[in-house]
Structure 1
């Protein structure tokens, strides 16, 4: 389509919505209590929250807790606050403009720029999928003794699960995701009881400290946590799936939709904060305080939990939660990949084809690493995948903030001034930290 300025301030007219099969498929009550309306909008936030508790988070949180005790809890808290702010912007963008973030980029930037952004986003999705593949395979190995390389290959079959759920309707996907989140919450609630963490140390860990910026090793793990918490592909995902609700296409209807979608994602991400913090707290209480500061592998954590905490249930619950997290991430990864490809390139592939492509991109490096370095290389690969996500963040965050603070594009639903200021501060912080990471990686 020709790059012509539209009356909304976009260079191209709005195209067909992504995930067209579920677009506006869920009814929203026009009358009734606010609680009924909130329930109608509840769901997308939990699909987004899944990305904040995927197996990649486990690797960074375990390493952070074992090495630095409770010190990096402040990074998890700050990252989560950033995530809540950014996800509220994605909901605002999707509802106000009828475009997801990928479509908004396509309708604003030139084709070469869009192509680069698409490649970077695909890299982030591949990194995230790599974490899901390895995490699920590790869980299968721990629970059933399945060799890791076979577990990696077996994860490619979850395409069938995604297809089945998509055919049943979007609410089925949301219900499965929420159920698995509840399983994870129960597992880590029990782990907190078993590990008896230092309450004073936990509260102290939530206070930011300059040491994180001064210690290169701590900063590397901190950036991994940031990349694992604020997920680039979640920004694309959320801006699309909020449009599954059939809200009224009026300014009042959209304002109401933005409000309830923001509440939904905030509640869901608060649960994700608890789970991320619980993983790091468990690692600090079980490993750091007993001198096992080298624990960074999920397998080592599983083996040590039983003798250190005195109950075999601790290890089993740990593996069950890991499997639930991996399967949950599989569902949202499928949708994110479809949205990104449809949005940036306006190409619509069948979901199972798209999922298979994404899985193969993740499976190949995982198989190579396991074959060359053995199972011990998986922990480093998980942490590296999260740093890759962190490095890609700015390329999603800056366009998002730019669009949602532009009144020509957003009209009356433009982000309030205080939100705009905070958003740009967050975008700059992410860009500076990532530049520092690159400098440290190549020149230290």
Structure 2
């Protein structure tokens, strides 16, 4: 290691309460080589990957219910909410990537090295609840897809989803690039399914274009506002901020100022492009719902299973329903893969507790699978949908506890040095945080008291 790199790493501990003890995800830390020479495109390809793993969380089964409900009830109107939510996500993910690259810490490690132990413990508990809730949505989504495609009872489908732990371990042992490639293949599968669905449903292009323009009715109609906040709550995922701040460190870039600046540049482009894929998929779900259910006068379709069964008669072919279920299965499996990684990052980061990857992922799966099995046995299919909605409420509750520390750290000159947020970015980031906090507080109030 050259002297400039060594000095840069030493400087990463400035402004923190304690020095960095170990890297995030040590088994894959700096495992992806970055070419020193070559074209801009070659370097960009080397950095590309983490953004797509982050984008997975923005198209998980938890998003499907809100997108389907919004499209069936209000047509294309709420497309503008999906767009705004995605722009917020792009900003926050860029900050998360920058934090990891500059400080050499993921967001969980940064919280541990800044806050007192009671605060750290509280943040860890909140984050574990959010990850368990997110994992729950993914498990239920995958189980529903298996039931729709193959007739597998929901209880057995929930249990089958536990096997994805073996896939993750196999791919991670092969190399982190294999995990990223697997994720990208599943994203392409989801995108391909919805591209075909869009063709089959023949949506109104004029309605789509006008839907991306914010309407005053979103604020004046209480039900529309409630669903809009649900879309926001289901779109911006707290665990993605922890995940992104960690996996950007899998790249073996120079730790000096120029190397970090280049890494921030490419990581931001990577996550921005990937999140536009997530925007397409979320918008496609709402457009499909609007073009089929809303147009046919079915304005109260909220259940994923009902949506699947209703698509065939409306589209005139079983292909539409099959593609819908295949995309749901790919979405659920993709999300569980990144969710288990986020669980490892959070536990190790907040508590500095090292568990074997096998044990950590088994714990994560059991936390999600046990409640899903119990509710499925007791309440059946409708119970799982209630559990899916509850998981999104828990995610909304946790979001502020991830966003506020992230903006605090990236705007701190002692911690970030020359890479701290400029004033305009700080103002924008705190505005976004304020919007998220207020809207999610409203969503929680309406859920429990409305």
Tell me, yes or no, if the aligned pair for 1:223 and 1:387 is still in contact at 8 Å: no
**1:327 pairs with 2:322:** no
TM-score of the two chains, using structure 1 as the length reference: 0.96
Corresponding residue for 2:115? 109
Equivalent in 76, 79, 83 of residue 77 of structure 1: 83
Q: Alignment partner for residue 266 of structure 1, among 263, 268, 272? A: 272
Question: 1:280-311 CA deviation, whole Å, 9 max, x = no partner?
Answer: 10011111111111211111111111110111
Inter-CA distance 41–280: structure 2 relative to 1 (3 Å threshold): same
1:68 counterpart (61, 74, 91): 74
2:303 aligns with: 297
SS in 2 for 1:248: coil
C-alpha distance after superposition, 1:242-272 (max 9, x if no partner): 0000000100000000000000000000000
Residue of structure 2 aligned with 1:230, choices 218, 231, 236:
236
Cα distance in 2 for partners of 1:141, 1:188 equals 20
Contact preservation (8 Å) 2:71, 2:288: yes
Matches within 5 A, 1:10-159: 10-159=16-165
Matched, 1:313 2:319: yes
Unaligned runs of 5+ residues in structure 1 are 1-5
Q: Residue 353 of structure 2 aligns to a residue in which SS?
A: coil
Q: Kindly provide the CA deviation profile for residues 143-177 of structure 1, in whole angstroms up to 9, marking residues without a partner as x.
A: 11101111011111221111111111100000000
In the TM superposition, what are the counterparts of 1:393-408 in structure 2 within 5 Å?
A: 393-408=399-414
Structure 1 residue 440: deviation in Å? 2.9
1:344 alignment partner in structure 2: 350
Corresponding position of 1:181? 187
Tell whether the 8 Å contact from 1:223 to 1:390 is kept in structure 2 after alignment.
no
Decide which moves more: 225-234 or 377-386: 377-386
User: Aligned Cα RMSD in Å?
Assistant: 1.5
Distance 1:382 1:70 in 2: 24
2:20 is paired with a residue of what secondary structure? Answer: coil
- Equivalent position of 1:365 in the other structure: 371
Provide the residue aligned with 2:5 in structure 1: none
- Measured at CA, do residues 106 and 87 of structure 1 come closer, stay the same or move farther in structure 2, by a change above 3 Å? same
CA distance in 1 between partners of 2:123 and 2:160 (Å): 31
Residue 425 of structure 2 corresponds to which residue in structure 1? 419
- Once residues 256 and 279 of structure 1 are traced to their aligned partners in structure 2, the CA distance between those partners, rounded to angstroms, is 35
The alpha-carbon deviation at position 209 of structure 1 amounts to 2.6
Residue of structure 1 aligned with 2:289, choices 283, 288, 310: 283
1:215 CA displacement: 3.5
User: Following TM superposition, by how much is the alpha carbon of 1:380 offset from its aligned partner in structure 2, in angstroms?
Assistant: 2.9
User: How does the TM-score come out when normalised to structure 2?
Assistant: 0.95
- Residue 308 of structure 1: SS of its match in structure 2? helix
Q: Shift in Å at residue 7 of structure 1?
A: 6.5
SS at match of 2:59: coil
Is it true that 1:250 corresponds to 2:256 in the alignment?
yes
Query: Partner of 1:3 in structure 2?
Result: none
Q: Which of the numbers 380, 386, 389 marks the counterpart of 1:383? A: 389
Cα distance in structure 2, aligned partners of 1:216 and 1:111? 41
* Distance (Å, rounded) in 2 between the aligned partners of 1:438 and 1:306: 35
1:351–1:214 distance in 2 versus 1, CA, 3 Å: farther
Which deviates further from its counterpart, 66-75 or 404-413?
A: 66-75
Give the superposition deviation at 1:442. Answer: 4.2
Matched, 1:392 2:398: yes
Aligned equivalents of 2:37, 2:220: Cα separation in 1 = 55
**Structure 2 residues without counterparts, runs of 5 or longer:** 1-11
CA–CA separation in structure 2 for the residues paired with 1:200 and 1:78: 19
Moved more, 432-441 or 284-293: 432-441
Q: Deviations over 1:309-333 (max 9, x none)?
A: 1111111111111111111111101
Does the 8 Å contact 2:201/2:292 carry over to 1?
yes
CA distance in 1, matches of 2:171, 2:59: 21
Is the partner of 2:377 in helix, strand or coil?
A: helix
C-alpha separation in 1, matches of 2:194 and 2:298: 20
Following TM superposition, by how much is the alpha carbon of 1:432 offset from its aligned partner in structure 2, in angstroms? 1.1
Secondary structure at 1:51's aligned position in 2?
helix
State the partner residue of 1:205: 211
In structure 2, C-alpha distance between the alignment counterparts of 1:293 and 1:110, rounded to whole Å? 49
Q: CA deviation at 1:207?
A: 1.7
Q: Is the 8 A contact 1:212 1:222 kept in 2?
A: yes
Residue 443 of structure 1: how far off its partner (Å): 4.1
